[in-house]
Structure 1
């Protein structure tokens, strides 16, 4: 979720906890340099061409009335009111394809999707490493069609988030039925076209950001047929969960100054360890929330390289025939 700039997010959250959400937005705008203020502004844009996007066949979001729309912010692009789920492949050069694949789930509070910073750029970076990547544009909760109404709805959501306990992935499963169905369909599509895309159907994982991390964990815990071979949750919930006996290896990255998830303990890590399942946890001193692929001066910028090394440790950056057992 990237409603405010990472470098000002913690100050904004403190003000919001004091019940000054509207004032915080005004202060944020007042202290920003003109160029930064312009970058922070949500600006409607035309829906980008997505010629490689494949509809997942999960149907239109029930009861949806607002049409999909996009906007730019922070030099990136975001989708909202997504009513039809799609999957966009980013395939590596066949000469260096490893056979591993990753479903990439952007975040945005289930109201918007950070398609560039947490989607396309992540997928391209994976493809550059020889890993087939697939950006999941999952269906979203409806928001006001007009930009002003959407901005107000996001301010209210973050105010409530600051005051109320966050649900853990197990609690969220029932309310994420459309999104989990989209994730399951994504796994089914990649496995169904594995030969065409040079993917090993037994080495398909999932990585998610914020709400996408919640979806990644919920998809894993829901069982059924997705069965990711490995998962990554980037600035997602660390609430404890009941870990399946066959839970996949887990990679977790979070900044210690994350305003949403950094102060609730490390239950998720402890759950995985207690179940004797593989887990790697990176707690960065700084980075805020929503850092994704943005290049920052904080060490949180190194999360992707750490994730790639972790995949390599599990033999996922080489063809299966050349990979050691993980």
Structure 2
């Protein structure tokens, strides 16, 4: 009997270790909302380390050291302008930084919106994020997670994806027969795209909904317009000199959060531009340290 218990414990240990390194596909069989990819649409990593034409979305789990888990989990949504996924090195560093503060991290690889491979490209990325949230909550016991403490961390275009889920809780674009809660419990947004103002040039907007999208579609994905009292507590980070995603994106979202009395904290640094990831070299203060304190203050 003792031998059986030891074997089971070891099996669980190796399963956990393996899971930290292995991507878990979000879907089995045919991916919903997909079309057969043309011959020129092939998933690959280019010479800059960017993943292009991703066709098999997945999550990769990263777990805290044994005994250090708080039960909180976060799904990381990388940026890339709804065009590519950036190199994973920086995103893995962010995942491991969450691990250090006791948070289980799931690195999401989501499909880019494209008419070549999607029936409706506007919902493709959101489907993948909702499926990831569904999977994490469904397997929460297995992964040692409190299903009421599952949040999102979105960077740049990944911030738009995160806030789309965070502000549209009643809009399900996946099959959810078990009625699993898809609402995130908190959001961490770092230089996020939020606004879909047609007067502001935006490749993110054009790739998701097209160049000449109707007002109804612009409004649907202008996530600051959908903040409500049910929007999750939010932690925002941006820089004044961000020339890629203007700080107005975070300012307007924060203003909407305040109007609806949503718990929120915003940190705007003077310099750092865009895409600094975990560490902004222009500032001694580290946003992850601030984020840790904020999460603890809010019970995560």
TM-score, with length taken from structure 1: 0.66
What residue is the counterpart of 1:229 in the other structure?
A: 185
Among candidates 140, 151, 173, match of residue 194 of structure 1: 140
Q: List per-residue Cα deviations over 1:141-192 (Å, max 9, x = no partner).
A: 4599xxxxxxxxxxxxxxxxxxxxxxxxxxxxx8531111111110111111
Among candidates 218, 226, 238, match of residue 242 of structure 1: 226
Distance in 2, matches of 1:143 and 1:285, equals 39
1:206 maps to 2:152: yes
Distance in 2, matches of 1:291 and 1:117, equals 13
Instruction: Assess if the C-alpha contact under 8 Å between 1:111 and 1:143 holds in 2.
Output: no
Question: What is the correspondence of 1:232-271 to structure 2 with a 5 Å cutoff?
Answer: 232-239=188-195, 240-262=224-246, 264=248, 266-271=251-256
Q: What RMSD in Å do the two structures reach over aligned CA positions?
A: 2.4
Distance in 1, matches of 2:232 and 2:284, equals 24
Distance in 1, matches of 2:248 and 2:294, equals 25
- SS of the residue 2:235 aligns to: strand
Distance in 1, matches of 2:85 and 2:259, equals 33
| Alignment CA distance shift 1:200-1:291 (3 Å) | same
1:311 maps to 2:288: no
1:70 maps to 2:26: no
Instruction: Assess if the C-alpha contact under 8 Å between 1:203 and 1:229 holds in 2.
Output: yes
What residue is the counterpart of 1:107 in the other structure?
A: 79
Distance in 2, matches of 1:255 and 1:300, equals 14
- SS of the residue 2:267 aligns to: strand
- SS of the residue 1:190 aligns to: helix
Among candidates 252, 276, 281, match of residue 291 of structure 1: 276
Q: Which moved more, 1:213-222 or 1:306-315?
A: 306-315
Instruction: Assess if the C-alpha contact under 8 Å between 2:280 and 2:286 holds in 1.
Output: no
Offset, 1:244: 2.4
| Alignment CA distance shift 1:263-1:101 (3 Å) | closer
Offset, 1:259: 0.9
Distance in 2, matches of 1:223 and 1:270, equals 20
Among candidates 41, 50, 55, match of residue 25 of structure 2: 55
What residue is the counterpart of 2:55 in the other structure?
A: 83
- SS of the residue 1:96 aligns to: coil
Distance in 1, matches of 2:108 and 2:235, equals 19
Offset, 1:204: 0.1
What residue is the counterpart of 1:137 in the other structure?
A: 109
- SS of the residue 2:133 aligns to: helix
5+ long unaligned stretches in structure 1: 1-49, 145-173, 317-326
What residue is the counterpart of 2:262 in the other structure?
A: 277
Distance in 2, matches of 1:306 and 1:130, equals 15
Instruction: Assess if the C-alpha contact under 8 Å between 2:114 and 2:121 holds in 1.
Output: no
Distance in 1, matches of 2:244 and 2:128, equals 25
5+ long unaligned stretches in structure 2: 1-19, 171-180, 196-223
Off by >6 Å, runs of 4+ in structure 1:
none
Offset, 1:289: 0.7
| Alignment CA distance shift 1:62-1:115 (3 Å) | farther
Q: Which moved more, 1:230-239 or 1:61-70?
A: 61-70
- SS of the residue 1:95 aligns to: coil
Among candidates 78, 98, 116, match of residue 70 of structure 2: 98
| Alignment CA distance shift 1:51-1:297 (3 Å) | closer
What residue is the counterpart of 1:35 in the other structure?
A: none
TM-score, with length taken from structure 2: 0.72
